[in-house]
Structure 1
Amino acid sequence: MITKWLTVNFLTIFIIVLWSNLQGYDSNSILLSKIFAQVAFILLLINLNMYFVFLIIRKSNRRDIKIRLAKISIRMMKYHVAIAVTATLLVLLHSGIMVYAYYENLMKGKTISGIILIAILSILLLSGFLRRRKATGKRRKFHYKMAFLFFGFLFLHIFL
């Protein structure tokens, strides 16, 4: 099960990098912006995978898998916020470069979906901050629902 999960992650990253390269770029700054976005995607995918690690821990019947994943999750959760902040900074760099590069032509679907993504990312970060201050079941569910909504819009943004 874990190998399937890792395979899906690597295939997703591969497809996104391949798609980005097929789209091409007009300048080196746009290439740099796309690299920022790809690194941010990988970091955000690492954070999203924490949900699946916890899901496997809850649903698995094998004790050895639960223990191994619990040890991994303890180590990973120490970096969850740092990874999210780093990814957010990369997203902001990406959006800043792209707005500067395409300033005359901002009313495109890709740009509008990017603006929506930044709004969703802001809500996601706020929900994570509130959850960190006081963890409740409602805040946990809202945080991971926002994460899945964010990734849904992210795929729309990438392949638009």
Structure 2
Amino acid sequence: MIAKWLIMNGLTIIIIVLWSLYRGYESNYILIGKIISQAAFILFLININMYFVFLLIRKSKIRKVKIQLAKISKKMMKFHIPIAITATVLIISHAAIMITAHQEQLWKAKTITGAVAFSLLVLLLYSGLLRRWKASGKRRRFHYTMAFIFLGFVLFHVFI
């Protein structure tokens, strides 16, 4: 199960990088923006994988696996917020670079989907903040639901 999960993550990253290379770039400035966005995506993927670690802990029937995954998740959770902040800064940098590079094309589908994805990121961060202030099952579900919706819009933004 873990091997499939890691393979899917690796394939997703490889497909996005290859798609980016296939689409090309008009200048080095845009290339830097794309590289920054890919780094942010990898950080986001690391954070969203926390859901799958917790899912495996809940679903596993092998006690040794549960204990090992619990140890991993305890270490990973210390970095969840710093990774999210770093990814957000990279996403803001990507948006700023792309907006300045494409000032005359702000009403294209790519830019609009990026704006929607950024709005969802704001909601995702807000849901994480709510969860940090007071954890509850409803806030946990809202946070991971927002994470998956954000992931869907990001993938739509990448491949449009």
TM-score range with shorter-chain normalisation?
over 0.9
Q: CA deviation at 1:126?
A: 0.6
Q: Could you tell me how far 1:64 is from its partner in structure 2?
A: 1.1
What SS does structure 2 have at the residue aligned with 1:11?
helix
Q: Distance in 1 between matches of 2:68 and 2:158?
A: 34
- Superposed CA offset, 1:82-126 (max 9, x none): 000000000000000000000011111110000001100000001
Partner of residue 64, structure 1: 64
Unmatched tracts of structure 1, length 5 or more: none
**Counterpart of 1:43?**
43
Question: What are structure 2's unaligned runs of at least 5 residues?
Answer: none
Residue in 2 aligned with 1:153? 153
Q: What TM-score, normalized to structure 1?
A: 0.99
After TM superposition, the runs of 4+ consecutive aligned structure 1 residues lying more than 2 A away are: none
CA distance in 1, matches of 2:20, 2:146: 25
Q: CA deviation at 1:45?
A: 0.2
Task: Identify the residue that residue 124 of structure 2 maps to in structure 1.
Answer: 124
Q: Secondary structure at the match of 1:78?
A: helix
Could you tell me the TM-score, scaled by structure 2's length? 0.99
AA aligned opposite 1:118: F
Q: SS at 2:61's partner residue?
A: coil
Which residues in structure 2 correspond to 1:11-160 (within 5 Å)? Answer: 11-160=11-160
CA distance in 1, matches of 2:91, 2:131: 22
